[in-house]
Chain A
Amino acid sequence: MSSPFRALLQNRKATFGGVILLAFAVMVVLGPLLVSDPLAFQGAPHSPPSSAHWLGTTGQGQDVLAQVVVGSRITLIVGLVAGVLVVVVGALVGVTAGYFGGLADDVLSILTNVFLVIPGLPLAVILAAYLPVGPASLTAVLVVSGWAWNARVFRSQTLSLRSRDHVAASVVAGESALRIIVREILPNMASLLVSSFIGTTIYAIGAQVGLEFLGLGDVGRVTWGTNLYWAANDAALLTGSWWILLPTGLCIALVGFALTMLNFAIDEVTNPRLRGQSAAAPAAPQRASKAPRGAKASGAALLSIQNIVVEFPSSTGVLKAVDDVSFEVHPGEVFGLAGESGSGKSTIGQAILQILQPPGRVAGGEIVFDGTDLLLLGADEIRSFRWRDGSMVFQSAMSALNPVLTVGEQIEDTLLAHGSATREEIARRTDELLDLVDIDRRHASAYPHELSGGMRQRVVMAIALALKPRLVIMDEPTTALDVVVQKEILRRVMKLEEELGFSILFITHDLPLMLAFADRVGILYKGKLVDVAPPDQLELADRHPYTRKLMSAFPSLSGPRSLAGGAQAGAGGAAPLLSVRGLHKSYKAGSGLRRRLRTVLRDVSFEVGEGEIVALVGESGSGKSTITRQLIRLERPDSGEIVFQGEDVLTREPRRASLDYRGRVQVVFQDPFGSLNPVHTVAHHIARPLAIHRRVPASRIRERSLELLAQVGLDPPADYIDRYPHSLSGGQRQRVAIARALAAEPRLILADEPTSMLDVSIRLEVLSLFRRLASELGIAVLFITHDLASARNLADRILVLYAGTVVEEGKSDEVIRSPKHPYTRLLLSSVIDRPEALLSPVEAKPGSAHDADARAACPFSARCLQAMPVCDSTRPARRLIASGHHVRCHLHDDVPGAMSDEAIS
């Protein structure tokens, strides 16, 4: 909290505003003591400024200076008090509505919205007209006419904070609603509170002056508003007495301006982007010094990058994002750039097209494309190079497409930018391009939000190929996609590359995928290219140490399981720790008359044994996070049982989870940046569960926190305990989140994709931490993931989820080695970890878990290549086909020895 405050003190606008406000504060307190009686007759009316009356006299012969000084008192105090009250009322209504939701929210937000559209001044006028005159009623009028805006702002802020993982984590820790609002939500709104207060005070002063000017105040008192009222009534203008109204107006404006400047400063401090550089296309050559054209540019290379350096100057020094990197891409070649976040891989891609985000610039080296040094080109030349010769596929297709233009319009823009084309040509080319990426031509008139993630990525690819470029830069083109879609897209890219013969610069952190896809791979580490080799040579032992480290960072689907536990009892034997039976959950979708139910979980049953690690594997939309929310009791399932340690918790504690349950079931979320509250130190995060569940006496909390930090590998713990989350890396934050979960001394930890947002080199470390917790402390882990390889390596058992149904479950090795359900096989065959993986076609009809109908007899039958008539009519039973191996599929109805669970029970 201290650093934004200090930043504010250093801000010029804040200093300027603060000094002016301080001067007015002095005037309010001391001023009236120093001037004469503002209402007394002092001399000739309408006399101009003189030595006796510095600012002249009013139409009634009163001293203008005295009126301005004395008037500041009531005006500014009323403005300030109204500002505080409006923010308090607005924040109370907004936070209540936002936090509690439901009916309270519905009623309050309708009320807020209604008051928001009712214009303030006319409402204030009728209120003021009926109320007795005076500062108190003026304040009341300002509050009634102004609260709605604040309520709205605070409500939306609360809604966004409430959905953050650190609030959910506090709920799961057993924190009370009041404490969450006061300690976890309100502190995050500090800057909003201040800026709303400032904005509201500006409004309150303006509206107050306006009402008094209309004659709705107490015209017998001296305020800035009544000063102007009398100025107008005494015909100050017609007599040319500008000095009567000028000082008061200037004072009002100065106060308003100073407050506005303070708000600007707060905006700049809290939103660093506002301080940034020009976003307009910078002049083309971004290179500081021009090296003479090197003869090195080999004739064979399509793209030759020589000794390129990219710098990002900042106030603390110059960051070299790319440091002396050289490589070549040959015609028709796929060159892969692999590296972790911060390695500079995307920066190289942007440098080639010269679309570096300011203040980044190429500080040295050459980028030679087909004999031309791109860094020497002028703005227009580089613009015509872009896309015609080198195009780019961006990582996130949702944000790479303009949301307000149709797919067709965005293709058309590209074609028009590089030469005029007739309407027919554009239409024909659009059709061709959509055919190329296998998208229905009708979708040319669709907007991006109407397409699925995979379709959007294919549209981005179609746009990239629009001008038949010779080089396509692909920056993590499939990272945001599910494995099946990823394979589809990569196969499409391979086919296009063969047909059209363009070169690809492929950028990704996913090394196994790169090995399957690229002809040569470059390994980047902290801006330096440490290794370049064909994929088969990267696996050799004598590579660069970082290459070896990166190669071993990916869990594999074959070979020994690196994180396997010892002898595990599995689900058999003793009574399970957790037993989920027949869980159903559906959500309301749509609104009004078209409201309908969307089934997300259907008859989900599974068990987790003491100290067991069970992986729940599924693509996005499969319902795996919904299961988490039911188990940590943020939501309540429609039906089904959650039996924990032998007791049905939904019956025992139907509305709110008991503190006991909260202590025993903890969660670690996916995003380590969202799951810690930025305003609290590490100590707070760990101390709260210790205090809530009274795991140690208050005097031992710090000592125990240090132990926990050491336990999760933050060593020495004393270096971490007093730090704020923003000064920790992603991996360190995730360890803090795990320590917080451990503090409650749980028996079960739900780990919701705990490593998917971490850099690859630390994923294994975090996963092995879970294994240690299971084997050393006997804590069971429900590991939720989309990654089959890490599931296999870490978990004792795997559950495969599709469209809210568990389609297969069994021991990890067995499910991976001999998958029985067609969907499990599809998932496995879509994992790209060896070159052959891309050769086989995707073994399913198009579709996704998102679109699957969970109410169908078998949700997968619509995509299943082996679907039979019975699949559409009868829901397959959960069948035991081998020890502990269950599958829900009609293909196994007749397998000898298979028996339906229903038959057993």
Chain B
Amino acid sequence: MRYALRRLGFYLLAAFASITLNFLVPRLMPGDPASAMFARFQGQMQPEAMAALRASFGLDAGSTFQQYVAYLKHVFSGDLGRSISYYPAPVTEVIGTGLAWTLVLTGVAVILSFGIGTLLGAVSAWRRNGWLDSTLPPVLAFLGAFPYFWLAMLALYLFGFVLGWFPLRHAYSYDIEPGFSLTFIADAAHHAVLPGATIVIATLGGWMLGMRNNMIGVLGADYITMARAKGLAPRKVLLRYAARNALLPSITSFGMALGFVLGGSLLSEIIFSYPGLGYLLVQAVRGQDFPLMQGLFLIITLSVLAANWLVDITIAWLDPRTRSRE
């Protein structure tokens, strides 16, 4: 598919740009923070850790361009240096354990939230000024105005701490052996309910309002009038004619909002001590673990790019006009 390949080309370019950005940021900052950092760690760190740190920044490789080449070589061979706070574990290894948890938790929550929100938006536009349309948008907009992690704190306090319905921390109970057993999966799901629900509630309003406004635009189109004139059942007009078309711009904005939503969900992971990327991020920030921080930036960016590519393919699949556009 020509379209999918062209989009892939763009995302590869974006990936390359973010890899380069990752290289440039520490070097462009005022006052050479890298050296300042080394100065700060002088005497506190083991010499081999210092050496690893220098190597991970490519600072031992000569000119900036040579450093860049060395850095690229490392990145493409999957070497993002060694973590300071988890020394001597390689950054890729540290991230690897967290990535799966984040992908599953955020992935499921975001897709659920988008599905429910879109459905609510479609119905709310269809029944303009009905009870759903007049109550939900302000309520969801209010909930969406809270920082995700604050909602997470509140949920943890109420449902974990006060009511005791859900576990307080981590992704699974320590006394259960991780594996593909029913008990483990049920336990992990139990742990995921609160963090997942936080993400769903915080993001629901955005999807709903987006879909509602798209629907209102689409409902004015001639083909909706014609579908009604044809005597189609209302449900069919709603789903096959209106929602089907209104969904397209919704999915596009879904792709663009992914990075933003992921950022928020990382923060709520921290509240639940969920062992995902968010938790690693806070460890990295507190431990001044720059290699880990940069590795996280890279991995998160690449995941978002990959997800965006999937979104583009979905749109091409749903919209014949995208497919045939040269």
Hey, which bits of chain A sit against chain B, CB under 8 A? 110, 113-114, 116-123, 125-127, 129-132, 149, 202-203, 206-207, 209-210, 213-216, 228, 231-232, 237-238, 240, 242, 245-246, 249, 252-257, 260-261, 264, 267, 273-274, 276-281, 350, 353, 355, 357, 383-388, 391-392, 394-396, 399-406, 413-414, 417-418, 447, 449-450, 460, 463, 589-592, 594
A238-B161, A281-B234 known; A116 and B293 CB under 8 Å? Answer: no
Shortest distance between the CB of B13 and any CB in chain A (Å)? 7
Enumerate chain A residues within 8 angstroms of B223, measured Cβ to Cβ: 399-403
Shortest distance between the CB of B160 and any CB in chain A (Å)? 9
A242-B157, A418-B231, A450-B324 known; A394 and B236 CB under 8 Å? Answer: no
User: Can you identify 13 A-B contacts, CB atoms within 8 angstroms?
Assistant: A114-B14, A116-B256, A119-B263, A126-B25, A131-B29, A240-B157, A256-B146, A261-B138, A280-B238, A386-B229, A402-B244, A403-B321, A447-B321
Shortest distance between the CB of A141 and any CB in chain B (Å)? 11
Cβ-defined partner of A125 (8 Å) among B219, B230, B297: B297
Shortest distance between the CB of A253 and any CB in chain B (Å)? 4
Q: Are A122 and B281 in contact (CB under 8 A)?
A: yes
Enumerate chain B residues within 8 angstroms of A149, measured Cβ to Cβ: 256
B226 interface residue (CB < 8 Å to A):
yes
- CA–CA, A274 and B219, complex, Å: 11
A277-B129, A399-B222 known; A210 and B264 CB under 8 Å? Answer: yes
A278-B130, A449-B321 known; A413 and B296 CB under 8 Å? Answer: no
Over the window 126-158 of chain B, the binary record of Cβ atoms lying under 8 Å from chain A Cβ atoms (1 yes, 0 no) is 111110000001100110111101100110110
- CA–CA, A591 and B147, complex, Å: 43
Shortest distance between the CB of A120 and any CB in chain B (Å)? 6
Q: Are B319 and A113 in contact (CB under 8 A)?
A: no
Shortest distance between the CB of A320 and any CB in chain B (Å)? 22
Give the residue name and chain of the A residue nearest to B205 (CB).
A260
The range of chain B's interface size is 35 or more
- CA–CA, A295 and B91, complex, Å: 88
A119-B300, A130-B26, A280-B128 known; A125 and B293 CB under 8 Å? Answer: yes
Q: Are B245 and A214 in contact (CB under 8 A)?
A: no
Q: Are B260 and A355 in contact (CB under 8 A)?
A: no
- Additional pairs, 16, CB under 8 Å, beyond known A260-B144, A414-B231, A590-B326: A117-B14, A118-B18, A119-B258, A121-B267, A123-B21, A213-B267, A249-B147, A279-B125, A281-B228, A391-B230, A396-B222, A401-B226, A402-B245, A413-B232, A417-B232, A447-B321
Shortest distance between the CB of A212 and any CB in chain B (Å)? 10
Give the residue name and chain of the B residue nearest to A590 (CB).
B326
Enumerate chain B residues within 8 angstroms of A391, measured Cβ to Cβ: 229-230
Over the window 254-284 of chain B, the binary record of Cβ atoms lying under 8 Å from chain A Cβ atoms (1 yes, 0 no) is 0010111011101100110000000001100
Shortest distance between the CB of B171 and any CB in chain A (Å)? 19
Q: Are A388 and B128 in contact (CB under 8 A)?
A: no
- CA–CA, A255 and B144, complex, Å: 12
Enumerate chain B residues within 8 angstroms of A255, measured Cβ to Cβ: 145
B59 interface residue (CB < 8 Å to A):
no
B10 interface residue (CB < 8 Å to A):
yes
B220 interface residue (CB < 8 Å to A):
yes
Shortest distance between the CB of A692 and any CB in chain B (Å)? 39
Q: Are A278 and B128 in contact (CB under 8 A)?
A: yes
- CA–CA, A418 and B301, complex, Å: 51
- CA–CA, A216 and B223, complex, Å: 52
Give the residue name and chain of the B residue nearest to A149 (CB).
B256
Enumerate chain B residues within 8 angstroms of A396, measured Cβ to Cβ: 222
Q: Are B161 and A386 in contact (CB under 8 A)?
A: no
B207 interface residue (CB < 8 Å to A):
no
Give the residue name and chain of the A residue nearest to B294 (CB).
A126
Q: Are B222 and A417 in contact (CB under 8 A)?
A: no
- CA–CA, A625 and B245, complex, Å: 32
B67 interface residue (CB < 8 Å to A):
no
Q: Are B245 and A403 in contact (CB under 8 A)?
A: yes
- CA–CA, A116 and B256, complex, Å: 7
A130-B25, A403-B320 known; A120 and B229 CB under 8 Å? Answer: no
Q: Are B127 and A280 in contact (CB under 8 A)?
A: yes
A273-B216, A273-B220 known; A130 and B33 CB under 8 Å? Answer: yes
B contact face: mostly helix, strand, loop, or mixed: helix
Q: Are A417 and B282 in contact (CB under 8 A)?
A: no
Give the residue name and chain of the A residue nearest to B157 (CB).
A237
B204 interface residue (CB < 8 Å to A):
no
B178 interface residue (CB < 8 Å to A):
no
- CA–CA, A417 and B235, complex, Å: 11
Enumerate chain B residues within 8 angstroms of A592, measured Cβ to Cβ: 6, 326
Enumerate chain B residues within 8 angstroms of A280, measured Cβ to Cβ: 126-128, 234, 238
B304 interface residue (CB < 8 Å to A):
yes
B39 interface residue (CB < 8 Å to A):
no
Q: Are A117 and B226 in contact (CB under 8 A)?
A: no
Give the residue name and chain of the A residue nearest to B143 (CB).
A253
- CA–CA, A413 and B219, complex, Å: 18
- CA–CA, A650 and B264, complex, Å: 57
Cβ-defined partner of A119 (8 Å) among B10, B138, B231, B304: B304
Enumerate chain A residues within 8 angstroms of B163, measured Cβ to Cβ: none
Give the residue name and chain of the A residue nearest to B286 (CB).
A215
Shortest distance between the CB of B249 and any CB in chain A (Å)? 12
Enumerate chain A residues within 8 angstroms of B154, measured Cβ to Cβ: 245-246, 249
Q: Are A117 and B229 in contact (CB under 8 A)?
A: no
B290 interface residue (CB < 8 Å to A):
yes
Cβ-defined partner of A386 (8 Å) among B30, B231, B285, B290: B231
A232-B271, A404-B319, A591-B326 known; A117 and B308 CB under 8 Å? Answer: yes
A253-B146, A276-B216, A279-B128 known; A121 and B244 CB under 8 Å? Answer: no
Give the residue name and chain of the B residue nearest to A594 (CB).
B326
Enumerate chain A residues within 8 angstroms of B290, measured Cβ to Cβ: 129-130
Cβ-defined partner of B297 (8 Å) among A117, A126, A274: A126
Enumerate chain B residues within 8 angstroms of A117, measured Cβ to Cβ: 11, 14, 256, 259, 304-305, 308
Cβ-defined partner of B229 (8 Å) among A242, A392, A406: A392
Q: Are A399 and B301 in contact (CB under 8 A)?
A: no
Instruction: Tell me the residues in window 1-30 of chain B with beta carbons closer than 8 Å to chain A beta carbons.
Output: 6, 10-11, 13-14, 17-18, 21-22, 25-26, 29-30
- CA–CA, A775 and B47, complex, Å: 95
10 closest A-B pairs by beta carbon, nearest first, are A121-B263, A119-B259, A256-B145, A278-B128, A386-B231, A279-B219, A399-B222, A249-B150, A447-B320, A253-B145
Shortest distance between the CB of A217 and any CB in chain B (Å)? 11
Shortest distance between the CB of A865 and any CB in chain B (Å)? 33
Q: Are A355 and B229 in contact (CB under 8 A)?
A: yes
Q: Are A404 and B150 in contact (CB under 8 A)?
A: no
Give the interface centre of A120, A122, A210, A278 by most chain B CB atoms within 10 Å: A122
Give the residue name and chain of the B residue nearest to A236 (CB).
B153
B182 interface residue (CB < 8 Å to A):
no
B115 interface residue (CB < 8 Å to A):
no
Instruction: Tell me the residues in window 47-103 of chain B with beta carbons closer than 8 Å to chain A beta carbons.
Output: none
B189 interface residue (CB < 8 Å to A):
no
Enumerate chain B residues within 8 angstroms of A119, measured Cβ to Cβ: 258-260, 262-263, 300-301, 304
Enumerate chain A residues within 8 angstroms of B259, measured Cβ to Cβ: 117-121
Q: Are A118 and B14 in contact (CB under 8 A)?
A: yes
- CA–CA, A386 and B305, complex, Å: 48
Enumerate chain B residues within 8 angstroms of A228, measured Cβ to Cβ: 147, 149-150, 153
- CA–CA, A894 and B221, complex, Å: 55
B197 interface residue (CB < 8 Å to A):
no
Give the residue name and chain of the A residue nearest to B161 (CB).
A237
Cβ-defined partner of A388 (8 Å) among B26, B231, B256, B324: B231
Shortest distance between the CB of B206 and any CB in chain A (Å)? 10
- CA–CA, A681 and B226, complex, Å: 39
B164 interface residue (CB < 8 Å to A):
no
- CA–CA, A714 and B219, complex, Å: 39
Shortest distance between the CB of A452 and any CB in chain B (Å)? 14
Over the window 291-326 of chain B, the binary record of Cβ atoms lying under 8 Å from chain A Cβ atoms (1 yes, 0 no) is 001101100110011001000000000111100101
Cβ-defined partner of B145 (8 Å) among A214, A257, A414, A594: A257
Shortest distance between the CB of A765 and any CB in chain B (Å)? 31
Q: Are A210 and B263 in contact (CB under 8 A)?
A: yes
